[in-house]
Amino acid sequence: MTQVSWLDRIHSPEDLRALPFDALTELASEIRQVVAETCSRNGGHFAPSLGVVELTIALHCVMDTPRDKLIWDVGHQCYPHKMLTGRARRFHTLRQPGGISGFPRRDESPYDAFGVGHASTAISAALGMALARDANGEDYRVIAVCGDGAMSGGLCYEALNNVGYLSPNILIVLNDNEMSIAPPIGAMSRYFNQLITTQFYNRSKQTAKDLLQRMPAVGQRVLNIGHKIESSIKNLIVPQETIFEKMGIRYLGPIDGHDLGEVVTTLRHVRDLKGPMLLHVKTVKGKGYEYSESDPERWHSGCDFEVETGRKMVAVGEGVSGQPPTYTEVFAQTLVQEAEKDRRITAITAAMPAGTGLSLFADKFPKRFYDVGIAESHAVCCAAGMACEGLRPVVAIYSSFLQRAFDQIVHDVALQNLPVTFAIDRAGIVGDDGPTHHGVFDLSYLRMVPGLVVMAARDEAELRRMVVTAARYDGGPIAYRYPRSRGTGATLDETPEPIEIGRGEVLYESARRSGRPSVAILSIGTMSASALSAAAILESKGIACAVADMRFVKPLDRTLLKRLAEECDLVVTVEENVVAGGFGSAVNEAVGAMEIERRVVNLGLPDRWIEHGRVPDLLKSFGLDARGIARHALSALESHAQSVAHSEVVAK
Ligand SMILES: Cc1ncc(C[n+]2csc(CCOP(=O)(O)OP(=O)(O)O)c2C)c(N)n1
């Protein structure tokens, strides 16, 4: 193991800038060592961070952070940045409850100029900061670091369009490792590849000189610095014909992102050039660790591995013998079964073929599978087009990333009542990735869309039925959500039956109810297991219970709801979604419309941001475990009993 020494001396980038250049290579390997050791225990985005170690060192050496604004795209590659900006000593708490976040956060450090977790935001945010700087008459630098994968996201193009037009002083560093999570798909990544592999490395020095001379004021000065710089000028090649040049953004590069000398020198040359610039930096994802270098997709993120051997790394989604399959696996297997019967079914992912399980579909039906890049809005609108022409597209997107495509769901799919299926993975609290990744809004943002059927699976067997239900549904758009976890071990039906649309299911009902206080617990999705356990606790305290998995947030099973609301003293709704506008709200609205005088208690996630942490701990902290549900039900019953007693006294 490397003796950590240089890193120990760095409390801020000031200390980094004071180090001798020769120390930087050793520092880079120390950082890699700490990233590996920490990720092996805590999990995290391993390969992306290893790939930007030298780039991060160089950026903090050359730029005057935090005065200069350094903005990371996605932010999953920020571990070296965190270590160099005063968080090395706390780095072992990465992604731990109460520890430092796996993503940049403005409330964590002044060096985290922009909070992030979703892709393709950096250039827009950087432009905004540059415009604010100019409006305020200030002069700091603004630097966006954006991956080639993130560059498949539409937001980047909207930003580039604006940058090229407004022409502010801004540096975009394209961190091109030729990988998204999976190999990137798309014409743009092909183009980046051409920039790297074709003639540009071999362009004559004269071209660079000519172009530098054309850069106002600074060009001549740079040229005069002399012989030493000439080798690095080679890297400042600016081919006029790049797409960026045509948009008014100077293109520089490509340079080797692991050659510290080259990156530092280049950044020094370009940092005060005027106008918008894109510096193309070639890096290797997973650099410096043989296992991640050879299989960066598998090592994109993960935990529980032995640093020396690379063994034991198991990502969610990978089968482990003896354990139930993940919801993701069950979704993918069932979809493949349905697609075997229905040739109209196509599958779309936004750059997450493995994460969504759709690699399985891609293997079976390569011609019916589409990876559209990190482009959720496009994925949904494209699905709408397919549906117009008779296909039955299934768009599999994580709950939090589907937020990007809200208008496409509303305007392109639902308004035209098109048969698009939304398979919403990672619904609910996801754990260590924290607030950017928790999928806790989808029930709210979907249930208000007219005509959209919204289901939530309580276990993997129900998920199978929901996949089948959606595949055979002819009424318009339909969605089902499921969590990031293994299933419950439910028995999987070989030939799952579709569920009647809008039909909930009673999971438990007390045999004897009369003479006892009673509670109807209405759950949605995975909360059903805790609801059942809560009922057992309540029964042990003499309270009669009914537990129903409502299955559909929309359309709600009003018949079942009416019966249970009429028969029980109290209705408790339970969901792993924000209470605001979610399943409980739907129940409130329905009960109100039925004009039933019934107290309804809504349990769900609060109206505040949920930090990273272990899923069971977080659920417990919000009262969404069995005890919490029972506790809330009991106290609501008590206050109900008091108010009944009070009204009886008043009536007498
Ligand atoms: C809107 C959105 N969709 C999907 C993701 C999931 N995701 C995280 S990183 C990543 C790939 C990013 O690739 P790139 O920008 O090249 O960075 P690299 O991991 O290669 O460093 C994806 C698809 C996300 N973070 N945000």
Residue 316 lies in a domain: no
Same domain, yes or no: 93 and 206: yes
Same domain, yes or no: 538 and 613: yes
pLDDT of residue 199: 44
Q: Which two tokens stand for residue 183?
A: 């190999």
Is the N-terminal amide bond of 353 cis, ω within 30° of 0? no
Q: Which two tokens stand for residue 60?
A: 């903090």
Average pLDDT, the chain: 91
Residue 100 lies in a domain: yes
Residue 491 lies in a domain: no
Give tens-digit pLDDT for 366-423.
999 999 999 999 999 999 999 999 999 999 999 999 999 999 999 999 999 999 999 9
Looking at 82, 404, 554, 598, which residue is catalytic? 404
Q: Which of 45, 52, 74, 156 to mutate to test the pocket of ligand 1 (most atoms within 8 A of CB)?
A: 74
pTM, two decimal places = 0.92
pLDDT of residue 211: 47
Same domain, yes or no: 261 and 338: no
Annotated catalytic, 285? yes
pLDDT of residue 4: 55
Q: How far is the CA of 24 from the centre of ligand 1 (A)?
A: 28
CATH code of residue 614: 3.40.50.920
Q: How far is the CA of 450 from the centre of ligand 1 (A)?
A: 31
- Closest atom, ligand 1, to C-alpha of 118: 26
Mean pLDDT per 10-residue interval, the chain, length 652 residues: 77 96 96 95 94 98 98 98 97 95 97 98 98 98 97 97 98 94 87 76 46 45 40 52 93 95 96 96 94 90 85 59 92 98 98 97 98 98 98 98 98 98 98 95 98 98 98 98 96 96 97 86 97 98 97 98 96 98 98 93 97 96 98 92 68 57
Write down which residue in 481, 514, 543 finishes a domain: 481
In 571-625, alpha helices (H): 583-594, 615-621
Number of domains in the chain: 3
Same domain, yes or no: 555 and 594: yes
378 lines ligand 1 (CB under 6 A): no
Residue with tokens 């318009």: 476
119 lines ligand 1 (CB under 6 A): yes
In sequence order, what DSSP letters do the residues of 158-187 get, joined into one string?
Answer: HHHHHHHHH--SEEEEEEE-S-SSSS--SH
pLDDT of residue 223: 40
Domain containing 155: what range? 7-294
Annotated catalytic, 376? yes
CATH code of residue 196: 3.40.50.970
Residue 492 lies in a domain: no
Write down which residue in 294, 313, 340 finishes a domain: 294
Nearest alpha-carbon partner for 15 in 69, 71, 89, 75: 89
Give CA angle at 619 (615, 620), nearest 5°. 115
118 lines ligand 1 (CB under 6 A): yes
Same domain, yes or no: 256 and 184: yes
Residue 313 lies in a domain: no
pLDDT of residue 396: 98
292 lines ligand 1 (CB under 6 A): no
Looking at 87, 285, 464, 598, which residue is catalytic? 285
Same domain, yes or no: 265 and 131: yes
437 lines ligand 1 (CB under 6 A): no
Same domain, yes or no: 601 and 542: yes
Return d(Cα 287, Cα 102) in angstroms, integer: 19
Annotated catalytic, 404? yes
Q: What share of the chain is helix, strand, coil (3-state, %, to 5)?
A: 45, 15, 40
Helix axes 558-567, 583-594, angle to 10 degrees: 70
Give tens-digit pLDDT for 439-461.
999 999 999 999 999 999 999 99
pLDDT of residue 224: 43
Residue 494 lies in a domain: no
Same domain, yes or no: 63 and 194: yes
147 lines ligand 1 (CB under 6 A): yes
Give tens-digit pLDDT for 562-610.
999 999 999 999 999 999 999 999 999 999 999 889 999 999 999 999 9
Same domain, yes or no: 68 and 198: yes
Nearest alpha-carbon partner for 91 in 23, 10, 15, 175: 10
Q: Which two tokens stand for residue 495?
A: 């030939």
Looking at 329, 376, 462, 575, which residue is catalytic? 376
Residue 318 lies in a domain: no
Our CA dihedral for 498, 500, 502, 505, rounded to 10 degrees, sits at -90
Same domain, yes or no: 185 and 81: yes
Return d(Cα 384, Cα 389) in angstroms, integer: 9
Q: Which two tokens stand for residue 561?
A: 């709801």
Give CA angle at 343 (338, 344), nearest 5°. 95
Same domain, yes or no: 280 and 336: no
pLDDT of residue 226: 35
pLDDT of residue 514: 77
Return d(Cα 525, Cα 481) in angstroms, integer: 8
